[in-house]
Amino acid sequence: MIDDNYRQRGLRNNLVKKLRLKGILDENVLNAIGKVPRHAFFDNALLSHAYEDKAFPIGEGQTISQPYTVAFQSEKLEIKPGDKVLEIGTGSGYQAAVLLELGAKVYTIEFQKKLYEHTKDFLPQLGYKPFFFFGDGSKGIPAKAPYNKIIVTAGAPIVPTALTDQLSEGGILIIPVGDRAKQQMVRIKKQNGKLLKETYDDFAFVPLLGEQGWRNA
């Protein structure tokens, strides 16, 4: 059992207030962020930073995304309980935990073996049980498709056609697209078989590697 005390819950409530002020309006998303014990994802040395609105290193050169980014992408996905969601880039598992709190059925894929193994072991200890996959998520997971929602949590050079192909009718894909330094957040909705694209602000993610991502690390 992880220690989730009064102080940590207080810090988490303050984080939720900050996200609201930054423009996150979806109460379900804010509630979900208010429930996931983000401090449990941090090494002891970094514990005091757990409820800052910042990304942090989690080992293997990777990061746990900034809470605002997690909230923003989650909000844009318009998750309904029971939605089947594919997440590309499991990382620490924090985003997957937020999606599970929103009532989604989550399939998450990670390309780094050590991270995959760590998170597959760790996340269920917090009570969060997505389906874990190891491999190149830039190709999606065709065997489990279609998905109501797809979220990419690494910066892509293009929108992989594999992912739009694996969206169900009415489905939504949220993906940061750009160069290695910064990416524009892109949302794609599949309606009557057509892909409708909306764009938002810039973000900075680690690169999406793989066949339909960046070819070299």
Residues annotated as catalytic are 65
Backbone angles phi, psi at 186, to 5 degrees: -120, 135
d(CA 92, CA 100) in angstroms, rounded, equals: 14
Give min distance, CB of 212 to ligand SAM, in A: 8
Contact between 88 and ligand SAM (CB under 6 A)?
Answer: yes
> Are residues 172 and 155 in contact, defined by beta-carbon separation less than 8 angstroms?
no
Contact between 110 and ligand SAM (CB under 6 A)?
Answer: yes
Give 10 or 61: the residue with its C-beta nearer to ligand SAM: 61
Sign of the C-alpha dihedral computed for residues 152, 34, 117 and 143 taken in this order = negative
Contact between 178 and ligand SAM (CB under 6 A)?
Answer: no
Give 178 or 213: the residue with its C-beta nearer to ligand SAM: 213
Contact between 79 and ligand SAM (CB under 6 A)?
Answer: no
| Both tokens assigned to 76 | 């844009």
Contact between 138 and ligand SAM (CB under 6 A)?
Answer: yes
Among 74, 153, 166, 183, binds ligand SAM (CB under 6 A): 153
By CB under 6 A, the residues from 17 to 46 that bind ligand SAM are none
d(CA 154, CA 73) in angstroms, rounded, equals: 12
Contact between 175 and ligand SAM (CB under 6 A)?
Answer: no
Of 217, 206, 215, nearest to 176 by C-alpha is 206
Contact between 123 and ligand SAM (CB under 6 A)?
Answer: no
Give 173 or 193: the residue with its C-beta nearer to ligand SAM: 173
Choose one: 7-15, 108-116, 174-182, 191-199; the region binding ligand SAM (CB under 6 A). 108-116
d(CA 30, CA 28) in angstroms, rounded, equals: 5
* Helix pair angle (6-21, 27-35), 10° resolution: 150
Contact between 185 and ligand SAM (CB under 6 A)?
Answer: no
Contact between 63 and ligand SAM (CB under 6 A)?
Answer: yes
Considering only CA atoms, give the Rg of the chain.
Answer: 16
Give min distance, CB of 97 to ligand SAM, in A: 8
Q: Which residues contact 166 (CB under 8 A, 6 or more apart)?
A: 86, 140, 141, 142, 145, 146, 147, 150
How big is the site for ligand SAM, counted in residues (CB under 6 A)? 26
Backbone angles phi, psi at 196, to 5 degrees: -105, 125
Q: Which residues lie near ligand SAM (CB under 6 A)?
A: 62-65, 88-89, 91-92, 94-95, 109-112, 115, 136-138, 153-154, 205-206, 208-210, 213
